[in-house]
Structure 1
Amino acid sequence: MLQKRHSLADEPHLIVRSLDVTYGLGTRSGGHAHPWHQLIYASAGVLTVRTGNGAWVLPAGRALWVPAGMAHDVHFVSAARLRTLYLRPELCGPQPEQIGVVTVSPLLSELILRATRQGMLDGRERADAALATLILDEFRQSGAPPFQLPQPRSAEARRAADLIADGDVTGTTALARVAGLGKRTLERRFRDETGMGPAQWRCRRAFLAAVEQLAAGASVKAVAAAAGYASPSAFVAAFRRAFGVTPGRYFTGA
């Protein structure tokens, strides 16, 4: 299907725009924001999306809902084909105000493909309006195991997060001392601001890095060793306990 031509006069009636492009390994978009809601979908490959509040890993079969106005940076962990929908907020009805991952069902995948082939959806066109309604209905029914790394908000907790990322300080007691907080205060801050303690946050960060390494072609054995696990089976078991699926199932979306 050929993309429809639109003029400036059509602009107020457009309810969905789309993007279909392939990016190479290591490409970064840089921080940016959009005035429309965005559904970021990699139909092939793996990407990581980071905001000031956290990071999300998206293998093929998963998409990320980014509300209008939210600054984000997309990192293509592997070569990936990106299919993105931009939805006009005032014409699409109430939508989630929080960023979140969704599973792209076979139906939603086909709907996204149809929309990107058309390029734009015009609310005056009955077929376009119906397609937009189907996309939104299928999107609302989607869900996915959480694979995100929330970032703490306070300066002291962010300092601790940076220390964990650098790998220079190990142990919650030492981490709290360097960050300028008591151990219990640091643990409480992390739970209040990220939903997990410092040790769990460290583990979640290691898993996020592991998924990126797997996407880049590293073996489970190498990734498990880099994450500090005694064996690949121990790493897979820990991954499953944390997210409800094995790394392999996470990549396939099964």
Structure 2
Amino acid sequence: MTEPKSHEAEDYQHVSRDLSGMPRDQSAGSYNAPHHHIRGQLLYAVSGLMKVKTEHGLWLVPPNKALWIPPGIVHDQLMMTPVKMRTLYVAPDKCAAMGDICRLVEVSVLLRELIVAFILEPIEYDLDGKGMLLAGLILLEMAVAATVPLAIPWPRDRRLLVVCNAILAHPDQPRTIEYWANEVGASSRTLIRLFVNETKLTFRQWVQQVHLAEALDRLERGEALGKVADALGYASPSAFTALFRKVMGESPRDYLARK
């Protein structure tokens, strides 16, 4: 009988293989405090929704998407729902193809099945066996995975931090840039400039990203599309669907059908 694999990330960092894969299931509300790895990480879950934060941004990671985290990047993780995590750790000298910044990527059907199969292999898999072949294919698929433009860039300016934290806490409460300028004692022109300088997004674009992240959370929890659209201030489900499709590449219903 095969021994269960370790659920501790540290056990996968110093192996003599280009790729290692860790299975870990966590309950809703579980929190992994800020940490980093010497290996690159493809953070993926076959089911469930995770929220991941670094000093540069925040991502919601749904099924069919994965978050690439380069070596050494400090990040935390909050499980928004029960999560069946299937994390890959990549040797530092094999990380160049994935880049040196965090990014959300598409997980193709092929990549998903490769990951699921690879996770079943021993940590120190046979260099002449199935594990080695799966690892090679996974690295090739990761290198061509498309980036999903769903991220919430995080600012440093103290005034902008107040605004962004408040919006993130209550994304269903629409406020104008003028309202927030008054709240933090700055001009609206200053806040407009700060958003672009610090997040590379306009205020409207930044709020839009928050809305999409909130929508993913609500949809994962089983909330009806019409209710989600209404809660986030969209005129109709079709208006929200158009935005969702533009960013995610599919409609909310198609996304839910592929979970």
Q: Which residue matches 2:105? A: 102
Which one of the candidate residues 225, 237, 242 is aligned to 1:232?
237
Q: CA deviation at 1:212?
A: 0.4
Q: CA deviation at 1:37?
A: 0.9
Equivalenced residues, count = 248
Q: CA deviation at 1:35?
A: 1.6
Query: Could you say what secondary structure the match of 2:35 adopts?
Result: coil
- 2:184 aligned partner, one-letter code: A
- 2:205 aligned partner, one-letter code: Q
Using a 3 Å threshold, how does the CA distance of structure 1 residues 106 and 240 change in structure 2: closer, same or farther?
closer
Structure 1: tracts of 5 or more residues without a match: none
Is 1:159–1:179's contact at 8 Å kept on the other side of the alignment? yes
Query: Could you say what secondary structure the match of 2:42 adopts?
Result: strand
1:203 aligns with 2:205: no
- 2:31 aligned partner, one-letter code: R
Q: CA deviation at 1:193?
A: 2.0
Cα distance in 1 for residues equivalent to 2:168 and 2:198: 17
Structure 2: tracts of 5 or more residues without a match: 6-10
**TM-score between both structures, scaled by the size of structure 1:** 0.84
Q: CA deviation at 1:235?
A: 2.2
Q: CA RMSD in A?
A: 2.8
Query: Could you say what secondary structure the match of 2:18 adopts?
Result: strand
1:245 aligns with 2:250: yes
Using a 3 Å threshold, how does the CA distance of structure 1 residues 208 and 4 change in structure 2: closer, same or farther?
closer
Which one of the candidate residues 54, 60, 64 is aligned to 1:61?
64
Q: Which residue matches 2:197? A: 192
Runs of 4+ in 1 over 6 A off after TM superposition: none
Is 1:4–1:120's contact at 8 Å kept on the other side of the alignment? no
Using a 3 Å threshold, how does the CA distance of structure 1 residues 56 and 224 change in structure 2: closer, same or farther?
same
Percent identical across equivalent pairs? Answer: 31
Q: Which residue matches 1:43? A: 46
Q: CA deviation at 1:208?
A: 1.1
Which one of the candidate residues 154, 170, 178 is aligned to 2:157?
154
Is 2:68–2:103's contact at 8 Å kept on the other side of the alignment? yes
Query: Could you say what secondary structure the match of 1:108 adopts?
Result: helix
Cα distance in 2 for residues equivalent to 1:242 and 1:138: 22
Using a 3 Å threshold, how does the CA distance of structure 1 residues 28 and 93 change in structure 2: closer, same or farther?
closer
Deviations for 1:74-126, whole angstroms, at most 9, x for unmatched residues? 22222221101112213x2524111111212222222212321113245x823
Q: Which residue matches 1:140? A: 143
Map residues 118-133 of structure 1 onto 2, 5 A cutoff. 118-121=121-124, 125-127=127-129, 128-133=131-136
Cα distance in 2 for residues equivalent to 1:12 and 1:41: 20
Deviations for 1:106-165, whole angstroms, at most 9, x for unmatched residues? 22222212321113245x823444433221111011114322111123223222212333
- 1:109 aligned partner, one-letter code: R
